[in-house]
Chain A
Amino acid sequence: MKEGDQIPELKVTPDKYLPHRYAGASGDFNPIHIDPEFAKAVGLPGTILHGLYGMALVARAAILGVEGDARSLKRLSVQFRGMGFPEQEVTVTGSVKEASGDRIVLEMEAAQGDNRIIRNAEAELEL
């Protein structure tokens, strides 16, 4: 991998019940993620994805270019911006920002259409 190279895209469409499974797996049962009536009552169009679920998708995408070896991921920082929604495809993209020796820094983002849910993500890999 060299500077400017794109990493393979990750495309995932979380189903309607994904936030329930993620809530159980992570322990984050904030009702804005699992209760449509609650979400609407606080002004959201419906339940929204957990931000840290989106970050987990970015972490998955970060290692696609290194044969999926999770040990290579040393650092990941993200900014949560737009809200993500179930039943809409999430696309994670990234490119190589720095490549020196066995250290690679990727700049990444995750979006649903034009809605960029995670921006200014930076992943550091050690090969």
Chain B
Amino acid sequence: MAVDESKKGKSYPPFEYEVGREKIREYSNAIGVHAPVHHDREAARAAGFRDVVAPPMFAVVYSAGSVAQGVLDPELGINLGRMLHGSQEFVWGEPVCSGDTIVTTTTVSDVYERAGMEFYVFESVSKNQDGQETVRGTWTNIVRTG
């Protein structure tokens, strides 16, 4: 199936995620991050954060639900069984702390076909409750068609 380039620019409804302290701890433990600022409120406050602070890659936890709207969009018709996560970029802004509410909006930034493969590129922009950007993600998914 040829890719539908007209879907370039399509956006999905904002996705809201409320950041909890235990989720930050659970995620930090899973990736082996043990610095006290990611686990202990007092340590985080002493370091100048509002509350327990998320490690940078926690961005996947609060933004994946937004990007999933694109990955699962029947109008794009990505063949999930043949999809690979090809590459990923994050650009970080304001740190994310327990108690924050993060709203992420995802756009289809590019759709193209090259060398027998379909490329679906999503851009996600996440902002906290004060409107400050916390992360901008570029998610490149590749579907092998050959």
Binding site for B on A (CB under 8 A): 12, 18, 21-22, 24-28, 42, 51-53, 55-57, 59-60, 68, 70-71, 73-80
Give the secondary structure class of A's interface.
helix
Closest 4 pairs between A and B when the two form their complex, measured CB to CB: A77-B89, A25-B30, A56-B31, A56-B57
Q: Give the residues in chain A near B38, CB-CB below 8 Å.
A: 70
Number of A-B contacts defined by CB within 8 Å:
82
Q: Is B31 within 8 A of A76, CB to CB?
A: no
Q: Give the residues in chain B near A79, CB-CB below 8 Å.
A: 86-87
Instruction: Identify which of A21, A27, A53, A77 contacts B87 (C-beta below 8 A).
Output: A77
Q: Can you name 10 A-B residue pairings with CB atoms under 8 Å? A: A25-B61, A26-B30, A27-B61, A27-B64, A53-B30, A59-B57, A60-B55, A68-B35, A74-B92, A79-B86
| Chain A residue nearest to B38 in the complex (CB) | A70
With the chains together, A59 CA to B59 CA distance in Å? 12
Instruction: Identify which of B29, B85, B91, B92 contacts A25 (C-beta below 8 A).
Output: B29
Q: Give the residues in chain A near B55, CB-CB below 8 Å.
A: 56, 59-60, 70
New contact pairs (20) apart from A25-B30, A51-B85, A70-B95, CB-CB < 8 Å: A25-B23, A26-B30, A26-B61, A27-B65, A52-B57, A52-B85, A56-B57, A57-B32, A68-B35, A70-B37, A70-B55, A70-B56, A71-B95, A73-B56, A74-B91, A75-B89, A77-B138, A78-B87, A79-B87, A80-B86
